[in-house]
A and B are shown apart, each in its own frame.
Chain A
Amino acid sequence: MAQREISEEDLRKRVRALLEEAHPDKVDQFTFRGKLYDYGLAWVHFPEGFGGLGVSPGMQAVIADELSKHAKTHYDDMMINAIGIGMGAPTVLTHGTDWMRKTLLRRIFTGEDIWCQLFSEPGSGSDVAGLATRATREGDYWTVNGQKVWTSLAHVSKWGMLLARTNPDAPKHAGMSYFLLDMQSPGVEVRPLHQITGEAEFNEVFLTDVKIPADRLMGREGEGWKVAITTLMNERTAIGGGGPTRRGAGSIGVLINLWKSREQGQFSPDAEILLRDRITKLYIEAELLRMTTQRGKAARKAGNPGPEGSVVKLAQAELNKRIWECAMDVMGADSLIYEPGYKRRRPTSRAREGRNSLTKYQFLRARANSIEGGTSEVMRNILGERVLGLPGEPRSDKDVPWKQIPRSA
């Protein structure tokens, strides 16, 4: 993408012109965000006509600054369509057809169309490229059969980014294609997937003889993995650059508050000594996680990114589990009670729940930290191989046709 020059003042002028036409204090968020897109202020680094102005992404901060000066209402939460904005848009821009770019990008940004990602399957977790959902070409359509899992937002999505196998005779990475799936198509069935908390943050998606028009292919047939990499590369930024930035914030803050508000005599003096040392240790690691995140940011800013960023995901997942385990110990017998009970629901805001019940929920939820977005075992492989340069495992699935690779039942 060619970058062009635009002065900060020109950008600020453009923001003010936009505000005159549609002020967020007066119009709804879809209208306002639509105008942002039309003015090229949605993603400034995107090309003109696609929500941007083709300038450096750093200029986005100027827009946010100017908006915050003139408006009380801010429609700037990407959580309105996290997967669409974070992962869908860059994928459409890089690999989508002209029709997709013209039709989809604006509605992604406004949040009118929610997006989801259909990669993981029951039989392929860490090994996404081993997936088994089949897409077969029949004339102008592809017919898809299979099952996807861990699909956030599938129940409210308009579009899904679907990775499916189109050639089982090719080695696994070479036999996949990437489709844009209309989630309202016949044969798409979305079921809530309840986790150990009882809640359903995610879905299972069953695909039975689903028809996808041939022009909904993204990238070329058989090159789905390349397109998927674009999506996955943007996953980390979409989920957010991990780690609290304020001292004592997050889970460690909850643990310390619980500890400080313990009842007199709740623990024997000996137990107090042990618990206090354990909590201090956790505090130290939580602080170091925060500092390492900051150090990584500083190094990236200075133009020498080091291994700091890569260690954070692994460290945070493992630490967070230990912090919540300790919090349960501090609660003692109270941790045996799970109030107000396991609600088999889709999560909404938990703001009204008491601190103790929230802590127990977090204790259960934290088990996913070392699984989602790359298990800790996979993260250690990545650190070992990509950062330290250690050799990979010998692989039995590399140059073999996908259909000959053994799979779990």
Chain B
Amino acid sequence: MDFAFTHEHEELRQTVRRFMENESSEATVRTLMETEPGYDRRTWERMASELSLLGLMVPERHGGAGLGPVELAIAMEEMGRVLFCGPYLASAVLATGALLHGADEAAQRKLLPAIASGKSIATVAVTEAAGKWDLASVAMRATRVGSEWKLSGVKDYVLDGHLADALIVAAKADDGLALFQVEANASGLERHALPTLDLTRKMARLNFSSTPATRISAGEATGALKQVMALGVTMLAAEQVGGAQRCLEMSTEYAKTRLQFGRPIGSFQAIKHKCADMLVETEFARSAAYHAAFAIADGEDGFEAAHLAKSYCSESYFHAAAENIQIHGGMGFTWEHPAHLYFKRARASSILFGDPSEHRLQLANILEL
């Protein structure tokens, strides 16, 4: 592993950063987070048409950019910096990953071009009442009625499930866990947007009662969904790096200019050393996320690297976001200041797809500790 970022990687980063700074300002984030859909349609379409971001990992033959996990991680990191509001993790990462790893050619041909062009937003529904991406405990049943499949049960904490045009649902069929595609307007499907702790990332509860579905995985989908999870947590870790870096920058900028006792608070070691520790943790988090992205790009299953990255990046982002509030003092505790937006994103993303101790447990199992 040599962390070899190319000139093209740097250009991609600069392009995404410029775009995000213009399209996802704090004011925009605050406006969007108060709306139910939680994203801006026009920005979403430009992400497809101008930057090819929505189909970054979609193969060229399906209308995408044909790039890989390293490029995707760069994009996620930049989105994390600005708390970008939109169904990117759901559609461009999880759903795209599920289609690439677990779906048959017909489903790929149908859905991937629409995802890449922005015509269709997709998400993956695995989690149920426990809120865990625990494949063994999936309770939703899929039953075959003649040539049609019907799904019944509840999917909870589904990222952007209230607005997705295509739902990719994990359910138990007679031959094991399988993937199904459900249309947004299918009969027997009820969708409830949830009031989320992190207003910048939307979730929904989905009730299925004999909802018609198309089976898109040929066989047992557990292996494919594990791959999707490794990809998902790696990309979430990259997003966390971007957020942590921004918290560090906010803290240092403030510490340079805020005067108390006649001098900048950053000249006090109590504050300076907090910033130094945040720097160390952010650099470690960066190594963890990049390492996981390169591991998957190199064709490894990436489980070990992904567990490592998710546990470390979750904790370091939360620490950076919490210290950012502390360094800003009373101001950092106000609604007007953006510190709480990062704090809530950090907290929610730490729990999403498994908390740090859960991932450490998985890692310990792999290492046979």
Residues on A lying within 8 angstroms of B by beta carbon are: 256, 259-260, 276-277, 279-281, 283-285, 287-289, 291-292, 294-295, 298-299, 302, 306-308, 311, 314-315, 377, 379-381, 383-385, 387-394
Q: CA A307 – CA B283 in complex, angstroms?
A: 8
Q: Is B2 an interface residue when CB atoms closer than 8 A count as contact?
A: yes
Contact with A along B235-259 (1 / 0, CB 8 A): 0000000000000100010011000
Against A, the Cβ 8 Å flags (1 = close, 0 = not) of B291-324 are 1000000000000000010011000000000000
Q: A385-B272, A391-B256, A393-B267 are in contact. Are A298 and B277 (CB under 8 A)?
A: no
Min distance, Cβ A279 to any Cβ of chain B, angstroms: 6
B106 interface contact, C-beta 8 A: no
Q: Tell me if A277 and B272 are in contact (CB < 8 A).
A: no
Docked-complex contact B367 and A280, CB < 8 angstroms: yes
Contact, CB under 8 Å: A381 / B364: no
A285 to B360, CA, bound (A): 12
Contact partner of B288 (CB less than 8 A), chosen from A291, A379, A385, is A291
Main SS class of interface, B: helix
Instruction: Evaluate contact between B276 and A294: CB separation under 8 angstroms.
Output: no
User: Which residues in A have their C-beta under 8 angstroms from that of B263?
Assistant: 391, 394
Contacting residues, chain A, for B252 (C-beta < 8 A): 388-390
A381 near B280: Cβ-Cβ < 8 Å: no
> Is the Cβ of B360 less than 8 Å from the Cβ of A277?
yes
Q: Tell whether, in the assembled complex, residue A295 and residue B363 are in contact, meaning their CB atoms are under 8 Å apart.
A: no
In the assembly, what is the distance between CA of A285 and CA of B287, in Å?
11
Interchain nearest-CB distance for B294 vs A (Å):
10
Q: Which residues of B contact A281 (CB under 8 A)?
A: 360
Most chain B CB inside 10 Å of its own CB: which residue of A294, A384, A394: A384
A248 shortest CB reach to chain B, Å: 9
Given A284-B311, A298-B2, residue A388 in contact with residue B287 (CB < 8 A): no
* Cα-based distance from A298 to B312 in the complex (angstroms): 22
Question: Quick check: is B369 within 8 A (CB to CB) of the other chain?
Answer: yes
In whole angstroms, how far apart are the Cα atoms of A342 and B291 in the complex? 43
Which residues of B come within 8 Å of A, CB atoms?
1-5, 248, 252, 255-256, 263-264, 266-269, 271-273, 275-277, 279-280, 283-284, 286-288, 290-291, 308, 311-312, 357, 360-361, 363-364, 367-369
**A383 and B279 within 8 A (CB):** yes
Q: Which of A284, A307, A311, A391 contacts B266 (CB 8 A)?
A: A391
Instruction: Choose among B256, B268, B283, B308 the residue that contacts A284 (Cβ–Cβ < 8 A).
Output: B308
Contact assessment for A383 and B280 in the assembled complex, using a CB-CB cutoff below 8 Å? yes
Q: Is the CB of B284 within 8 A of A315?
A: yes
Question: Which A residues are CB-close (under 8 A) to B255?
Answer: 390
> Can you list 17 A-B contacts with CB-CB less than 8 angstroms, sorted by A residue number?
A256-B367, A256-B369, A276-B364, A280-B364, A280-B369, A281-B360, A291-B3, A294-B3, A306-B283, A308-B283, A311-B279, A380-B277, A383-B279, A384-B275, A388-B275, A390-B266, A390-B272
Q: Which residues of the partner chain B approach A288 to less than 8 Å between Cβ atoms?
A: 284, 287-288, 308, 312
Of all chain A residues, the one with the shortest Cβ separation from B368 is: A260
B290 contact set on A, CB distance < 8 A: 295
Report yes or no: B280 in contact with A314, Cβ–Cβ below 8 A: yes
Cα distance, A149 to B284, chains bound together (Å) = 35
Kindly list chain A residues whose C-beta atoms are within 8 Å of the C-beta of B360. 277, 280-281, 284
Given contacts A311-B279, A393-B267, 12 further A-B contacts (CB under 8 A): A260-B368, A288-B288, A291-B287, A292-B286, A292-B287, A294-B2, A295-B286, A380-B276, A383-B276, A388-B275, A390-B256, A391-B263
A280 neighbours in B (Cβ, 8 Å): 360-361, 363-364, 367, 369
- Which of B2, B3, B273, B363 is the most central at the interface, judged by chain A CB atoms within 10 Å of its CB? B3
- A384 touching B287, Cβ below 8 Å: no
Nearest 6 A/B pairs, CB to CB: A384-B272, A390-B266, A380-B276, A383-B276, A291-B287, A288-B284
B275 contacts A284, CB within 8 Å?
A: no
| Least distance between B74 CB and chain A CB atoms (Å) | 15
What's the nearest-Cβ distance from chain A to residue B58, in Å?
29
Inter-subunit contact B3/A284 (CB<8 Å): no
Question: A36 to nearest B CB, angstroms?
Answer: 31
- Return B56 CB to nearest CB of chain A, in Å: 23
User: CB within 8 A of B279: which of A277, A295, A298, A388?
Assistant: A388
Residue with the highest number of chain A CB atoms closer than 10 Å, among B248, B252, B268, B369: B369
CB distance from B366 to the nearest CB of A (A): 10
B273 & A292 in contact (Cβ 8 Å cutoff): no
Q: State the CA gap A385–B266 with chains docked (Å).
A: 9
The answer, among A302, A314, A393, for a CB contact under 8 Å with B269, is A393
Task: Evaluate whether A384 and B276 lie within 8 angstroms (CB atoms) in the complex, with A259-B369, A277-B357, A288-B312 already known.
Answer: yes
Within the assembled complex, what's the spacing in Å between the Cα atoms of A387 and B275?
A: 10
Give min CB distance, B240 to chain A, whole Å.
14
Least CB separation from B305: chain A residue: A287
